[in-house]
């Protein structure tokens, strides 16, 4: 038997072993003929990294994009040769450098790109078609700080208002910067600043965000199908990367608008840099245009700082970042019959990024986020409310790049969250909710990048514990897939599918015209964890280097979404009820760019339905048709202009059916109160069955930059609603008064850079 075994079985193992050794030797010989290119892309004037810039090897027709740190890695390049490397980034002059690749060695380069005043040059798109051949990026938008500056300003440039020009993103009024993505509610959008969650990112009753555009380097915005390294929200992710600061010289920038003054200071430190930005309101007169000519004593500020350190003598290839952010809003009324409102955010983060000699990279992060909001009714009769959120999060991620150019990304996040909420509704029912939870999740994401015309991101997020004791809150698996296939050099097909969960929510009243702030809580244990499934398909066509068309269709279902219980009568009644949402639609975006002109046209056709207690209705942000036309032009001699025309079909609203005289007890023993205690009370139709008239407006901006006394100056002029379209905002049910959105509104911002 033993003899038979060795004669028949052992030779087969010997054969397998010989084949295995042959493959190893072949791979070694293959590796010996290959080399690696890696490096970083930075701004030549200040050393600021340029995230997501394009790097292409012209002779091989291959390319990659830099990551959020401006770093790139290209393995398996045929060695013992020289190549022309093209590096490009929007707003910068494309650069071509000559690089020699050595056998079995890593060639490291640092490329400095020079900014150009011509932001729309098509040459800056050279690497785009190469790097997009196999990049699964459906639903992803890259936004640079330069792009924020060329759009018309409501009061000041604002990233949240800029998002509203993206197809699939909707707002409900000129008044609010709050945005809704593909039929989802605003509390389903995750906003990160350098990896730290910000819970209430709004100033001045939501008119614009707390995020000063001067602090933004770039941002990634996922309007669906986001990968496994993001979790905790159902609809979208906005990942903002702030500037590191000038590594070459000390610099300062001051600016003023009709609303606030801003100051930015940055400069080098040994082996690093720093940046500090601050903004403070000094006048609220222009806000009366947003608030129906009412004078609201809004006082706000925001402050951000960042310190970077990268010493090769300490830990080679490392980068350490300390970043912080604070904002505060205070509405203090002298009138005792008007409520006072205040809220603030505090964020702090530490990040260690490490590049090793092997193709392994890792990041370790600690983040702390705090939100505190309070409504003091005084004698106004408003509902008292207070909310506190404390979030402490640890993240780690490890990325390995294979010789095949595939990437493996694994990571873990641990969150400790504490929320407290006290509120009282108009019926006198009190909600006093306190919850604390710890959550741990892990993810794995594999990126197939080895094929020239096909790419895939396949990942899974595993929620191991859950923040609350809600049903189904522990051990949830969320698989996600994002695919792209280029059927022709000019045409690519894309698709994405994924499951997402959310374990926190807000108690916000959808009937509020202007929301003060949204109080956050951990989902109560009597509700199941909210979940969503995204289905997305798309096609992108590059007709020419200057003309492209992007078409995307989506279908999204949301389950167990918490909806405010507007019929809560006693304190024992639940604050939230489980509902569901179904959303679907089509998005079209056409971009045409020439040397000095860029035209963008986007159209969205969408539907969204909420279901609560078997009752189906339109949410207040459901818009059937949305059209945006944007024209950017460089006029020469540092003059630039932008025109934006926006059209939306009418928003849903709840109609009045009539009135009746309702008796309110003010003093049971007063005869006069019995005679005069009747007040007209509106009888409402079914929720949101009516539609407001269509909405449209034209905005225009003009900017001029110049140099005087060796200082750089710029002036930005904007006009909102050029032809003074009277777009309805709402009707006051008590008075019948019609309230319109923004009228003809000129604004200006003045900047000086030292």
Instruction: Collect all residues with Cβ–Cβ distance below 8 Å to 316 and sequence separation of at least 6.
Output: none
Summarised one tens digit per residue, pLDDT across range 7-47 is 443 344 444 434 433 443 444 444 458 888 988 999 888 88
Split at pLDDT 50, 70, 90, the class of 412 is very high
Q: How far apart, in whole angstroms, are the C-alpha atoms of residue 118 and residue 125? A: 13
Secondary structure, 3-state, 170-194:
ECCCCCCCCCEECCCCHHHEEEEEC
User: Rounded mean pLDDT of the chain?
Assistant: 83
Residue in 202, 737, 294, 259 with CA at minimum distance from that of residue 518 = 202
> Mean pLDDT highest for which of 152-161, 248-257, 528-537?
528-537
Greater pLDDT, 286 or 604: 604
How high is the pLDDT of residue 452?
A: 82
Instruction: Confirm if 77 and 34 have CB atoms less than 8 A apart.
Output: yes
Split at pLDDT 50, 70, 90, the class of 124 is very low
- How many C-beta neighbours within 10 Å does residue 199 have? 24
Domain 33-124: which CATH number of 3.40.50.2000, 3.10.20.30, 1.20.58.190, 2.60.40.1120: 2.60.40.1120
Split at pLDDT 50, 70, 90, the class of 231 is very high
Contacts of residues 473-480 at CB distance under 8 Å and 24 or more positions apart, as own/partner, are: 473/503, 473/523, 473/528, 473/529, 476/501, 476/529, 476/531, 478/228, 478/231, 480/225, 480/226, 480/227, 480/228
The string over 139-176, giving b where at least 16 C-beta atoms fall within 10 Å of a residue's C-beta and e elsewhere, is bbbebbbbbbbbbbbbbbbbbbbbbbbbbbbbbbbbbb
Split at pLDDT 50, 70, 90, the class of 539 is very high
How high is the pLDDT of residue 660?
A: 63
- 714: pLDDT strictly greater than 80: yes
How high is the pLDDT of residue 534?
A: 97
- 535: pLDDT strictly greater than 90: yes
Q: How far apart, in whole angstroms, are the C-alpha atoms of residue 154 and residue 158? A: 8
Report the run of H or E that residue 130 belongs to, with start and end.
helix 126-131
Greater pLDDT, 243 or 145: 243
Instruction: Confirm if 151 and 165 have CB atoms less than 8 A apart.
Output: yes
How high is the pLDDT of residue 662?
A: 60
Split at pLDDT 50, 70, 90, the class of 376 is confident
How high is the pLDDT of residue 187?
A: 92
Mean pLDDT is lowest, of 317-321, 479-483, 565-569, for 565-569
- 477: pLDDT strictly greater than 70: yes
pTM of the model: 0.88
Instruction: Label residue 416 exposed, middle or buried (CB < 10 Å: 0-12, 13-18, 19+).
Output: middle
Split at pLDDT 50, 70, 90, the class of 697 is very high
- 628: pLDDT strictly greater than 90: yes
Phi and psi angles of residue 358, each rounded to the nearest 5 degrees, phi first: -90, 170
- 716: pLDDT strictly greater than 80: yes
Summarised one tens digit per residue, pLDDT across range 484-497 is 999 998 999 999 99
How high is the pLDDT of residue 706?
A: 81
The arithmetic mean of pLDDT across residues 717-724, rounded, is 91
> In the numeric block, which tokens belong to residue 157?
């440039």
How high is the pLDDT of residue 117?
A: 54
The arithmetic mean of pLDDT across residues 723-734, rounded, is 84
DSSP state letters, 478-531: EEEEEEEEEEETTEEEEEEEEEEEE-EEE---TT-SS-S-PPEEEPPTTSPPEE
Phi and psi angles of residue 380, each rounded to the nearest 5 degrees, phi first: -80, -20
Summarised one tens digit per residue, pLDDT across range 75-101 is 888 888 899 999 988 778 889 999 998
Q: How far apart, in whole angstroms, are the C-alpha atoms of residue 161 and residue 155? A: 11
Phi and psi angles of residue 529, each rounded to the nearest 5 degrees, phi first: -65, 135
How high is the pLDDT of residue 405?
A: 85
How high is the pLDDT of residue 127?
A: 31
Mean pLDDT is lowest, of 17-21, 521-525, 623-627, for 17-21
Summarised one tens digit per residue, pLDDT across range 653-691 is 888 777 666 655 444 444 444 455 556 666 777 888 889
- 325: pLDDT strictly greater than 90: yes
Mean pLDDT is lowest, of 37-41, 352-356, 421-425, 530-534, for 421-425
- 197: pLDDT strictly greater than 90: yes
Greater pLDDT, 571 or 84: 84
Instruction: Confirm if 47 and 69 have CB atoms less than 8 A apart.
Output: no
How high is the pLDDT of residue 672?
A: 46
How high is the pLDDT of residue 732?
A: 74
The arithmetic mean of pLDDT across residues 566-573, rounded, is 74
How high is the pLDDT of residue 667?
A: 45
Instruction: Confirm if 214 and 256 have CB atoms less than 8 A apart.
Output: no
Instruction: Collect all residues with Cβ–Cβ distance below 8 Å to 689 and sequence separation of at least 6.
Output: 617, 618, 652, 654, 655
Split at pLDDT 50, 70, 90, the class of 270 is very high
How high is the pLDDT of residue 128?
A: 36
Can you tell me whether residue 205 is helix, strand or coil? helix
- 499: pLDDT strictly greater than 50: yes
pLDDT above 90 covers a percentage of the chain that reads: 42
Dihedral, 377, 379, 381, 382 alpha carbons, nearest 10: -20
Summarised one tens digit per residue, pLDDT across range 590-609 is 999 887 888 999 999 999 99
Q: Where are the domains of the chain?
A: 33-124, 140-294+303-336+345-654+689-753
Hey, do 33-124 and 140-294+303-336+345-654+689-753 end up sharing a CATH topology, with the first three levels equal?
Answer: no
Split at pLDDT 50, 70, 90, the class of 616 is very high
Domain 140-294+303-336+345-654+689-753: which CATH number of 3.40.1160.10, 2.40.170.20, 3.40.50.300, 2.40.30.170: 2.40.170.20
Rg (alpha carbons) of the chain, rounded to whole number:
28
Summarised one tens digit per residue, pLDDT across range 396-410 is 999 998 888 889 999
How high is the pLDDT of residue 5?
A: 35
């Amino acid at each position: 038997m033993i003899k038979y075994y060795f004669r028949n079985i052992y030779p087969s193992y010997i054969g397998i072993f010989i084949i295995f050794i042959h493959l190893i030797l072949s791979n070694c010989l293959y590796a010996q003929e290959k080399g690696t290119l890696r490096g970083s892309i930075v701004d030549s004037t200040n050393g600021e990294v340029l995230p997501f810039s394009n790097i292409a090897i012209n002779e091989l027709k291959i390319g990659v994009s830099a990551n959020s740190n401006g770093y790139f890695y290209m393995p398996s390049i045929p060695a013992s040769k020289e190549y022309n490397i093209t590096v490009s980034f929007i707003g910068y002059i494309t650069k071509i450098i000559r690089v020699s690749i050595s056998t079995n060695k890593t060639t490291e380069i640092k490329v400095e790109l020079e900014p150009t005043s011509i932001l729309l040059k098509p040459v800056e798109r050279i690497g785009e078609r190469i790097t997009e051949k196999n990049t699964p990026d459906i639903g992803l938008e890259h936004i640079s700080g330069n792009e924020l500056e060329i759009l018309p300003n409501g009061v000041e440039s604002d990233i949240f208002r800029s998002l509203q020009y993206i197809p699939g993103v909707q707002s409900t009024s000129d008044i609010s910067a709050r945005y809704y993505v593909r039929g989802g509610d605003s509390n389903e959008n995750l906003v990160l600043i350098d990896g730290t969650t910000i819970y209430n990112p709004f100033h001045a009753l939501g008119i614009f965000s707390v995020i000063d555009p001067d602090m933004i380097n770039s941002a990634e915005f996922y309007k669906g199908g986001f990968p496994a390294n993001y979790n905790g929200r159902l609809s979208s992710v906005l990942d903002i990367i702030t500037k590191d600061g000038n590594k070459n010289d000390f610099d300062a920038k001051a600016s003023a608008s009709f609303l606030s003054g801003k100051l930015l200071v940055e400069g080098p430190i040994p082996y690093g840099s720093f940046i500090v930005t601050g903004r403070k309101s000094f006048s609220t007169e222009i806000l009366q245009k947003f608030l129906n000519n009412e004078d609201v004593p809004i006082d706000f500020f925001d402050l951000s700082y960042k310190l970077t350190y990268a010493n090769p003598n300490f830990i080679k290839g490392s980068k350490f970042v300390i970043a912080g952010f604070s904002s505060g809003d205070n509405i203090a009324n002298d009138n005792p019959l008007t409520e006072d409102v205040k809220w603030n955010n505090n964020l702090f983060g530490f990040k260690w990024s490490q590049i090793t000699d092997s193709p392994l990279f890792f990041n370790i992060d600690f983040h702390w986020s705090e939100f505190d909001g309070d409504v003091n009714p005084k004698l106004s009769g408003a509902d008292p409310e207070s909310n506190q959120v404390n979030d402490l999060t640890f993240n780690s991620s490890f990325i390995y790049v294979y010789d095949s150019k595939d990437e493996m990304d694994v990571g873990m996040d641990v969150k400790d969250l504490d929320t407290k909420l006290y509120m009282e509704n108009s019926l006198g029912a009190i909600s006093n909710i306190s919850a604390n939870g710890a959550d741990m999740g892990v993810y794995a994401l594999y990126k197939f990048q080895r094929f020239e015309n096909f790419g895939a991101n396949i990942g899974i997020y595993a929620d191991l514990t859950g923040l609350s004791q809600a049903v189904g809150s522990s051990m949830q698996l969320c698989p996600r897939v994002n695919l792209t296939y280029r059927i022709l050099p000019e045409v690519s097909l894309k698709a994405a599918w994924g499951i997402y969960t959310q374990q926190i929510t807000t108690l916000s009243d959808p009937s509020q015209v202007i929301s003060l702030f949204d109080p956050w809580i951990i989902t109560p244990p009597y509700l199941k964890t909210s979940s969503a499934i995204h289905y997305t398909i798309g096609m992108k066509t590059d007709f020419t280097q200057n003309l492209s068309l992007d078409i995307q269709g989506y279908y999204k279902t949301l389950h167990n979404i918490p909806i405010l219980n507007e019929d809560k009568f006693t304190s024992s009644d639940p604050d939230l009820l489980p509902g569901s949402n179904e959303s679907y639609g089509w998005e079209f975006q056409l971009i045409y760019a020439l040397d000095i002109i860029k035209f963008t046209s986007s159209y969205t056709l969408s539907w969204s339905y909420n279901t609560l207690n078997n009752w189906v209705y339109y949410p207040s942000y459901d818009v059937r048709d949305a059209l945006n036309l944007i024209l950017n032009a460089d006029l020469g001699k540092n003059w630039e202009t932008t025109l934006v025309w926006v059209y939306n079909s009418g928003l849903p609203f709840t109609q009045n059916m009539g009135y009746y005289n309702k008796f309110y007890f003010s003093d049971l023993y007063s005869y006069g109160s019995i005679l005069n205690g009747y007040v007209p009370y509106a009888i409402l139709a079914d929720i949101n069955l009516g539609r407001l008239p269509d909405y449209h407006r034209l905005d225009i901006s003009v900017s001029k930059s110049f140099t005087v006394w060796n200082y750089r100056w710029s002036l930005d002029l904007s006009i909102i609603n050029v032809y003074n379209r009277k777009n309805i905002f709402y009707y006051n049910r008590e008075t019948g008064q019609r309230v319109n959105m923004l009228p003809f509104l000129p604004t200006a911002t003045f900047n000086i850079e030292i």
